[in-house]
Structure 1
Amino acid sequence: MTFPSHSSSTSVRVDDDAAPVHPAGRDDAAYDTWPGMATTGELGTVQQPAEPLVLPHDLAGTATRQLRRWSNQLYRALDADFPPYGAQEDYDRLADELERRAADALDGSGGQERLGAFRDNPMNHRFELFQDGILAGYVSYSLRAGRLRLDRTVVAAAFEGVGLEGVLIRKVLLDAHKRRLAALPYCDQVQAFLADNPPYRSLVAS
C-alpha cells in the first residue's frame, strides 16, 4: 500500500549549502563565541601573553634610568593575573641594585664597601641603620603572626636632609620581603615613600 504524499507551504527544504537560519532577535555574534572565551574586544581575538623581560646577568654596567624602567615594567607584569615565570626574582634583583646605588650615592662611596650597617634589633623592636659606627636612623615596629607593623621612622639630626629615610625604608621593606613578612605601613614616612616609589608597593601587605 502506498500513502499519498502531502506538501505544505510552510515546509523548509534542507540544503547542506544553505546558510543557517538564526532565530529572530538573536545577534550574530552569539554564534561566534562560547562561554569563557577570552577576547579583547575584537571578536575571536585571544589575548596573547606579554613577551618576558630578559635582564642581563650583570646589572653593574646598566644605567640607573634603565633599571628604573625595567623595575616599573616588571611591577606591571607582577600585577597581572598570570605573571611571567621568574618575574619576581628579576624584580628583587633590580630592587636590590637600585637600593645599593642609592646608598652609595648617599655616602659617596662610589661602589666601595660602606662603613654603614643595617640590622634588625628585635630587643628594641626596630630596624637600625648605622653610618661610621653611629646610629643614623631607625624604624620601630611590632611583629605578630608574620605581620610586621611599621610604626615610626626616626633619623638623627646630623643625618637629616640627605635622603637617609629612603635608604632606611628600602632596606626595611626588602628585609621584610626576604623574610616573608607582611609589612604594614602605619608610619607616615613609609606611606610617603611608597607614594613616591610605586614598585615597592608590591612588598607591603594588601
Structure 2
Amino acid sequence: MSETVVHNERRHRFEIMLDGELAGFAHYDLSNGVASFDHTEVQPRFNGRGLGTTLVQAAFDQVRAAGQWKIRAVCPFVSTFVKRHPEYHDLVVR
C-alpha cells in the first residue's frame, strides 16, 4: 500500500492518501506565521496502521522544509506527538 501526504492549502490541511484514497487529515488555522493544528482525523477503517503519526510527521517535515511557519499543537493527538518527538520542538510555539 502506498502512503502519500499532501498539503491541501485551499482547505488548510495536510491529507494522507492511501493508494489514492483520502485516509485522514490534519487541519490547521494559519495566523501571523503560526499554524495552529486543531483537528486530526483518520477514517475508522484505517485505524491501527500508524497513519496519524505518519501524517503529522510528514506535515511537520513539510512545515520545516518551507521554513515559513511555526506550529501550535491544539489538537490532543498533535500535542501528544510533540511530547513524544523532541526533534520537532524547534518548530513549536507554546
Q: Give the distance between the partners of 1:163 and 1:141, measured in 2 at CA.
A: 20
Counterpart residue identity of residue 184, structure 1: R
Matched with 2:52 is 165
Matched-pair contact (CA < 8 Å) for 1:116–1:131:
yes
Q: Deviations over 1:97-154 (max 9, x none)?
A: xxxxxxxxxx5xxxxxxx3321111221111010101101100111122111101100
| Aligned alpha-carbon RMSD (Å) | 1.4
Q: Deviations over 1:164-187 (max 9, x none)?
A: 111111011111112221111111
Matched with 2:36 is 149
More strand by share: 2
Q: Deviations over 1:62-119 (max 9, x none)?
A: xxxxxxxxxxxxxxxxxxxxxxxxxxxxxxxxxxxxxxxxxxxxx5xxxxxxx33211
Larger Rg: 1
Matched with 2:17 is 130
Q: Is there any run of 5+ residues in structure 1 with no aligned partner, and where?
A: 1-106, 108-114
Matched-pair contact (CA < 8 Å) for 1:173–1:204:
no
Matched-pair identity in %? 30
Q: Give the distance between the partners of 1:172 and 1:141, measured in 2 at CA.
A: 11
Q: Give the distance between the partners of 2:72 and 2:82, measured in 1 at CA.
A: 12
Q: Is there any run of 5+ residues in structure 2 with no aligned partner, and where?
A: none
TM score, norm. by length of structure 1: 0.43
Matched with 2:72 is 184
Counterpart residue identity of residue 199, structure 1: E
Matched with 1:140 is 27
**1 or 2 for the larger relative contact order (CA 8 Å, sep ≥6)?**
2
Q: Give the distance between the partners of 1:201 and 1:182, measured in 2 at CA.
A: 10
Matched with 1:110 is none
Q: Give the distance between the partners of 2:57 and 2:36, measured in 1 at CA.
A: 15
Alignment of 1:33-48 (within 5 A): none
TM score, norm. by length of structure 2: 0.88
Counterpart residue identity of residue 51, structure 2: L
